[in-house]
Amino acid sequence: MCFPKLNTVIILFVALVTNGFYANAQESLINIDSSSYTFDSYKLDFLVENDSLYQATILLNEAISYSKKYNLKQTEAKSYNALGDVLVKMSNFNKAENYHHRALKIYDSLNDNKGKDLSYSGLLNTYASGKYYSKFDSTYPKAQEISKTLNSEIYFINLEYKIKKDYYSFDNTTMLTSSNIALEALKNTNFDSLNYSKSYKTKNLKQTLHTSFEYYNAIARIKASDFKEEDYEPLFLINEAELEAASFTDVNSYRKLSSLNYYKHLYYTNTKKNLDSANKYLLKSDTYKYRALNNLEKQNTRNGELIYKIINAEQKLALVNETRKQDALTSKIFLASTIIMSITLAVILTSFYFYFKARKNICEINEALTASNSKLLAIDKDRLEFFSILSHELRTPIYGISGLATLIDQEIDNTKKQSYLDSLISSSNYLSILIDNILQANRLKFEDKNLRLKPDKIEKIVSHVVSTVAIAAQNKGLELNVHIDKSDEEENILVDKVAFSQILINLAYNAIRYTKKGHISINVFEQSRKNNEITLRFEVKDTGIGIKEEHRSVVFSAFENKTFLNKNSSGSGLGLYIVKTLLRSHNSDIDFISTPNEGTCFFFEVTFQLSIQVESQRTITVLPQRDMHVLIVDDNKINLLITKKNIEKIEGYSCQTISNGKEAISLVKAKDFDLVLMDINMPDMDGYEVTKHIRIFNPYIPILALTALNSNEISTKSEAAGIDQIITKPYIFEDFKTIITSYGNNLNHCNIMDSEAI
């Protein structure tokens, strides 16, 4: 017979028999004294220590039902927490974790730190026993912080769980460090001064913990030192009887005693070469190992008996249902006369069987075709609505740019001119993001996004995002807040600045779009560090219209999220789709929490590689030793004008412009230029061809692509043609200036080195 899983049948059994046990249970864990209620922790611990887990489970479920009935939140939380501890004893770690989290949630709502201390400790026990190491590592600091604040004995119990976790994960070095810390803390602590978590003190707790810490410390010292002779000494100082007494409630107690004697066996075998003593300890180790296996067999037998009880309860329930069916059948005997008519009707139905079957098939085919047609019509309608929205979204900033340009031309007041200019920049930024989203949405369907990782600081990326969206927020009267956890000034992350900026800009614009009043917040928190990696959590919060839970499934879907493009807001519907797609390239995903009419918080976590660079060496700007002469190649006159003005704003730089690729080649041959800014898309000869020709006679001159194109193909072609770097338009002037001057500084350095050589 195939039995159901233990965690499933336990819950089923409790659901079936709980009501029956209310009247028959010998004891209760809830003590009622006049109008007050207390939870009997001592009685529960007594049951668990004596392995009466079945009775403990029944009493705890009674306590939970009673607490819910009379709204006793404190007692309900204690019952959940205790049930989690019992389920750990049954090796049902998933259910145990669930009940500890329920208890923690209630304690958190009651602001009960003492209860939270117990719940966190229960979770640590679950994670250590179940070998959920990553969950243990994330929970341990929170648990110890609360225990230390409360001056609770749980602090030392949690230390034991930490050492056990290191033991289970074979992290001997960490186990040695943890056990040393634990022994030192135990030595310097007066247990009489502790605030105990329960209503009674655990007997001989300090001595029990000390023995356990000594055991793990001795094992760790041997294994961490690769079994050197001098490191066996602490092992022989452990009193075997004290270790057995300290571990009497631990299912692994005999395993500990077996390991203790086994390491003594290794000592006499490998170090002392004393076979008599080695065999003596090996025999003791095997004896304890047999007892450990016997304990495991008993535990499995106990669980089997529990399953047997549950199956009996299920069979009784099935028998009751069968009896009801028989009674119902008996009550309908008087309808026996209808049997003849039923037979006759069956003959008639058989005659028409194939007719009805064929008719049914035709109807199903027609329904399927109708449904398919309706779906196609709905998709077509969605596309039309999307392009209608897109048309509106494109016309709005274009109209704004055109109108604001006219106002700037007509306005005399410089203050108003600056205001119009700020709005013009905001409209231009929005239009640029919108167009980039449209192109990105189409491109991401056909190619994977390969990240171009370079060292940068997250503060600079967030600053760029804020400068891009600040005017849009200001125009709506929204406050824009930024929080970034502090980091080492010399520490950088490897990041694709363009791709990651696009993620944050889309989220920020999305927040501004759906918020009428209040504020927008961009937060960056450090979650964890490991070796040369750092995990950051990003949050973009708003006080906008919020998102209903029923719309969660379509928020990140392109073309399907038109639910949100209503009279309260506008947008193309592509921003969140782009964000989710780009985050896949970062091995991450995005989620949100939202309350309608109160606001939304989008959040995600990304793990970056760290890159340590000395900031002072990287950012020093060296004025050129001579004028740097730049050639700008672009077939668009406006682009030439803008780039020329930006170059001339850089001290020590001058430029010449040309709009034809062939003429550019001739100029580079004829004149001594220090740098070339090359457009990609040009008639006659594109930027790749021009660069290839220049590289034939001048392989050293820096050539930078200045282009509005942005894809993996552009990067590959540029590298093949000999282009040194790509600057994507539109750009921030300060970033542009940094790139240009970096090449100028390199040239000056080379000139200085040449002159010194001469």
Residue 553 vs residues 22, 129, 442, 569: alpha-carbon distances, Å: 43, 36, 21, 19
Is there a contact between 79 and 58 (Cβ–Cβ < 8 Å)?
Answer: no
CB 440 within 8 A of CB 447: no
Least confident segment among 222-231, 695-704, 714-723: 222-231
User: What is the rounded distance in angstroms from the CA atom of residue 41 to the CA atom of residue 200?
Assistant: 8
Range in 155-159, 170-174, 393-397 with the lowest mean pLDDT: 393-397
8-state DSSP, 620: P
Q: How far apart are CA 669 and CA 464, in angstroms?
A: 38
CB under 8 Å to 387, separation ≥6 — which residues? Answer: none
In the predicted structure, residue 314 carries a pLDDT above the cut 60: no
**pLDDT classification of 318: cutoffs 50, 70, 90:** low
Average pLDDT over residues 566-592: 76
**Mean pLDDT of all residues in 279-296:** 78
pLDDT of residue 276: 80
Give 536's pLDDT tier (boundaries 50, 70, 90): very high
pLDDT digit string, tens, across residues 362-379:
888 888 888 877 777 766
Q: Is the peptide bond before 4 cis (omega within 30 degrees of 0)?
A: no
- pLDDT, residue 667, reads 95
- The amino acid at residue 332 is K
Q: Where are the domains of the chain?
A: 1-111, 454-616, 622-757
Q: Beta strand pairing status for 599-612 and 533-542?
A: antiparallel
Quick one: 454-616 is in which CATH superfamily?
Histidine kinase-like ATPase, C-terminal domain (3.30.565.10)
Per-residue pLDDT band for 24 (boundaries 50, 70, 90) equals very low
**pLDDT at site 663:** 94
Q: What are phi and psi of 305, to 5 degrees?
A: -65, -40
Residue 152 · residue 166 · CB < 8 Å: no
112 pLDDT exceeds 80? yes
Question: Which has more pLDDT, 662 or 444?
Answer: 662
**Which carries the bigger pLDDT value, residue 453 or residue 534?**
534
Copy the structure tokens of residue 641: 């004008």
Please state which CATH number belongs to domain 1-111: 1.25.40
Question: If pLDDT is split at 50, 70 and 90, which confidence band does 522 have?
Answer: very high
Choose among 566, 466, 461, 550: nearest CA to 508.
Answer: 466
Which residues are 325's β-sheet partners? none
Q: What is the mean pLDDT of the chain?
A: 79
Q: Give 686-699 pLDDT, tens digit per residue.
A: 999 999 999 999 99
pLDDT at position 620, please? 46
569 pLDDT more than 60: no
- For 337-351, what is the mean pLDDT? 83
Between 225 and 667, whose confidence is greater? Answer: 667
Domain 622-757 CATH superfamily: Response regulator (3.40.50.2300)
Bridge partners, residue 728, by sequence: 707
Q: How confident is the model at residue 2, as a pLDDT?
A: 45
Task: Please report, for residues 397, 402, 560, 570, 571, the alpha-carbon distance to residue 574 in angstroms, rounded to integers and kept in the order given.
Answer: 17, 25, 10, 12, 8
Going by the DSSP 8-state scheme, the letter that residue 267 receives in this structure is: I
- Please answer whether residues 705 and 723 qualify as being in contact, where contact means their C-beta atoms are separated by less than 8 angstroms: yes
CA distance readout (Å), 473 to 419, 464, 469, 584, 623: 14, 15, 6, 28, 37
pLDDT for the residue numbered 201 = 77
Mean pLDDT highest for which of 87-91, 158-162, 344-348? 158-162
Tell me how long the chain is.
758
Is the pLDDT confidence value at 200 over 80? no
Per-residue pLDDT, 22: 38
pLDDT higher than threshold 70 for residue 8: no
pLDDT tens, residue by residue, 702-720: 999 988 766 666 888 999 9
Of 234, 235, 228, nearest in space to 257 by CA: 235
- pLDDT tier, 122 (very low <50, low <70, confident <90, very high otherwise): very high
Distance separating the N- and C-terminal Cα atoms of the chain: 93
Residue type, 185: A
Position 91 confidence tier, pLDDT thresholds 50, 70, 90? confident
Please indicate whether the domains covering 1-111 and 454-616 agree at the CATH topology level: no
Burial class (CB in 10 A: 0-12, 13-18, 19+), 64: buried
3-state helix, strand, coil in the chain (%, to 5): 65, 10, 25
For residue 21, the model assigns a pLDDT of 39
pLDDT of residue 659: 92
Contacts for 401-408: CB closer than 8 Å, 24+ residues apart: 401/427, 401/428, 401/431
CB 504 within 8 A of CB 538: yes
605: closest CA among 536, 502, 547, 663?
536
Q: Please tell me the predicted confidence (pLDDT) of residue 45.
A: 72
pLDDT tens, position by position, 552-562: 888 887 655 55
- Report, as an integer, the average pLDDT of 624-643: 86
Give the β-pairing of 491-495 and 599-612. Answer: antiparallel
